[in-house]
Amino acid sequence: MALIRRVRTVWTGVAGAPYYSNLYFVENGTSLGSIHARVSTLMTDLAGFQCTPLVATVEGDMPLIDSVTGQIQGVDNVNQVVIAAGGTGVALPRATQILCRWRTGEYVNGRQLQGRLFIPELDTGFNDDGRVDAAGVTALQNLLTPFVLSGDGEFVVWSRATGATAPVASANVWREFAVLRSRRD
C-alpha cells in the first residue's frame, strides 16, 4: 500500500469549464506546503502562455489516498492559490489543448503506467498550420522538465484500476493538438 497526496487544479472562467488537473505525490514526509508550492509554481508558469479570462485555482485541500483501495484516509489543507492567465492573445478553440504525457518507464500488466496533463486556453501563436509550434513545444518542455525533476515530494502516476503508482521519469509535450472531451460530448 502506498499513500499518495492529490493536488487538484481547477480551471474556470471560460465556456466548457471547469477543467480539472489532478497530480499525485507519494506521502514521504515532504511538507504539504512544498508540494503545493511546486504545483502552484508550475501553474503560474503555464498561466503566462494562457489567455484571459482563464483562472486556475490550486485547491488547498490535499487528500491522502490509499493507492490500492482508492479510499481517502484524510484531508489536510494549505491555502489555495488562485492564478489568472497572463496571455493577451487570441485563444485557440477551447476543445484544442496541448497534451503533456507523464512517462514512468514502468509497466503493469504489459502496459506502461503513464499520466497526462491537458493544458487549455493557449494562444494561437502555438498553432503552426494545425500542429503545435516547435518553439511552443520547447518552451513548455522547459517548464515541465524541472517540475518532474524537482525534489519536493515524489511525483507519481497512479492507476486506479490496479492500485499501482510509479514515479514520473519524464514529461513529453505532444506535437499534435489534443482534444479533451467529456463523456457527454
Residue 129 within a domain: yes
**H helix runs in the chain, sequence order:** 32-47, 134-149
Check residues 134 and 151 and name the one with the higher pLDDT.
134
Look up the domain containing 119 and give its range.
Answer: 3-179
pLDDT of residue 78: 97
Say if CB 78 and CB 38 are below 8 A apart.
Answer: no
Residue 122 lies in a domain: yes
In a domain, 146, yes or no: yes
Q: Are 95 and 16 in contact (CB under 8 A)?
A: yes
Instruction: Return the bridge partners of 87, or none.
Output: 51
Q: 126 in a domain, yes or no?
A: yes
Other CB atoms within 10 A of residue 34 CB: 14
Is residue 185's pLDDT more than 60? no
Domain membership flag for residue 184: no
Q: What's the DSSP call for residue 121?
A: S
When pLDDT is averaged across residues 135-164 and rounded to a whole number, the result is 93
Give how many domains the chain has, as a whole number: 1
| β-pair partners for 166 | 157
Query: Has residue 183 got a pLDDT over 60?
Result: no
Name which of 38, 22, 119, 19 is nearest 78 in CA terms.
38
Any domain includes 125: yes
Beta bridge partners of 102: 115, 171
Is residue 135 in a domain?
A: yes
> Which helix (H) or strand (E) segment is 123 a member of?
none
* Residue of 169 and 182 predicted with greater confidence: 169
Q: Report pLDDT for 65.
A: 97
Residue 70, domain member (yes or no): yes
pLDDT at 184 over 60: no
Provide the 3-class DSSP secondary structure of residue 32.
Answer: helix
Task: Give per-residue pLDDT as tens, 20-61.
Answer: 999 999 988 889 999 999 999 999 999 999 999 999 999 999
Residue 181 has a pLDDT of: 67
Q: Average pLDDT, stretch 147-152?
A: 86
